[in-house]
Amino acid sequence: MKALVYTQPGVLEIQDWPVPEPSEGQALVKVEGVGICGSDIAGFEGRSSRRVPPLILGHEVVGTVAAADGGSPLRPGERVVVNPLQSCGSCPACAAGNDNLCENWRLLGMDRVQGGFADYVTVSSSNLHPLAPNVTIERAVMVEPLANSVHVMRLAGAGQLQTIVIVGGGTQGILALMLARHLGHRRVAVIETSAARRDLAASRGASLVIDPHQTDPAAAVREWAPGGTDIAIEAVGLESTRQTAVACARKGGTVIMLGLHDQASGLDFATLVRSEIRVLGSFAYTARDFSRSLQLLTDGDLDPSPWVRIRPLADGRRAFEDMLRRPDATLKTVLVP
């Protein structure tokens, strides 16, 4: 089979690899398309210690079942979306329903688990979800990214109408905006440096869009929401954006840290303590979050597909380089074999 292989920082090569053989409990999936995630970009740049070459990256996989063991309800030819977060099912976190915090979790395209930028990939059968015929590849590939936002909103307790600021208008920021609007939140601000992404945020219902290069973002948010917002979602992962998120939150508010760029950051802990601001990390999603994301996209409640771009797998290296050089209003680039 053909595979796009990460061979060293900054280098992706199309290579011939053997078709993987599924082990017990696994299925062989013929890949229809795979989204490029920000974590794939980090791996490509050599910033991910858990992505060591040679490695096939890619975990946002849509495909069809090519083969499955006898115990699987799935049959060859059935179209599926992959939940790439594989948990053990038996540790305390898994037993509590927090499988995203599994002590032994693995992810496609990381830690020697070969990913989906290839013609075929093997996946645990229990991690495959059937796709309805009406779900296009552009929508299906967004199930995994959207599941992160479903998890964020659940952590934030965002069940009532609240003011929200989202720091970062990339894929995760815009999906969080779209989900917040769907949940009924009418006052949602977005802070973003890219003009194209600010325009996209405005078109998707952001009440306030802020260019942090032109104004103090926290001051602008506090003018818009006196005292600060109920919820601040940090979707970049830089020290500066984490500090901005904390500065935007009201006393007693909640800050959700989603971005993973910088390993460590300094925060104003005096303000955090005196204002009783709750700071939570948000990692990936649970199986329940993934299923909810799939339902939202299947039902058409959210449709980010107009901002999804499809490119051939053979053009993979150029696609990665373009995403690094020219971040724009495209929410997702999908590589198809």
Kind of pairing, strands 26-35 and 120-124?
antiparallel
Q: Point out which residues pair with 229 in neighbouring strands.
A: 249
pTM assigned to the model: 0.95
CATH topology for the 2-142+304-336 domain = Quinone Oxidoreductase; Chain A, domain 1 (3.90.180)
**Which residues, including other chains, have CB under 8 Å from residue 151's CB and lie 6 or more apart?**
100, 282, 284, 285, 286, 289
- Residues composing the chain: 337
Domain residue extents for the chain: 2-142+304-336, 147-281
The whole-number pLDDT of residue 324 equals 86
Residue 132: phi and psi, rounded to 5, are -70, 150
CA dihedral (272, 278, 284, 290) in degrees, to 10, reads: -160
Q: Which DSSP category does 118 fall into?
A: B
Rounded Cα–Cα distance for residues 203 and 18 (Å): 45
Rounded Cα–Cα distance for residues 169 and 148 (Å): 15
Domain 147-281 part of CATH 3.40.50.720: yes
CB-based contact 254:162 (threshold 8 Å): no
Q: Look up tokens 């995994």; give the residue.
A: 144
The whole-number pLDDT of residue 262 equals 79
Would you give per-residue pLDDT tens digits along the chain (337 residues)?
A: 999 999 999 999 999 999 999 988 899 999 999 999 999 999 999 998 899 999 999 999 999 999 987 667 888 999 999 999 999 999 999 999 999 999 999 999 999 899 999 999 999 999 999 999 889 999 999 999 999 999 999 998 866 678 999 999 999 999 999 999 999 999 999 999 999 999 999 999 999 999 999 999 999 999 999 999 999 999 999 999 999 999 999 999 999 999 988 788 899 899 999 999 999 999 999 999 999 999 999 999 999 999 999 999 999 999 999 988 877 768 899 999 9
The whole-number pLDDT of residue 283 equals 96
The whole-number pLDDT of residue 73 equals 82
The whole-number pLDDT of residue 158 equals 62
The whole-number pLDDT of residue 70 equals 64
The whole-number pLDDT of residue 148 equals 97
The whole-number pLDDT of residue 160 equals 66
41 sits in the region (left: phi over 0; alpha: psi -120 to 50; else beta) called: alpha
257 sits in the region (left: phi over 0; alpha: psi -120 to 50; else beta) called: beta
The whole-number pLDDT of residue 159 equals 62
The whole-number pLDDT of residue 69 equals 77
Q: Which DSSP category does 315 fall into?
A: G
Residue 117 corresponds to which tokens in the numbers above?
């930028």
Query: Could you tell me which of 136, 141, 38 has the C-alpha nearest to residue 81?
Result: 141
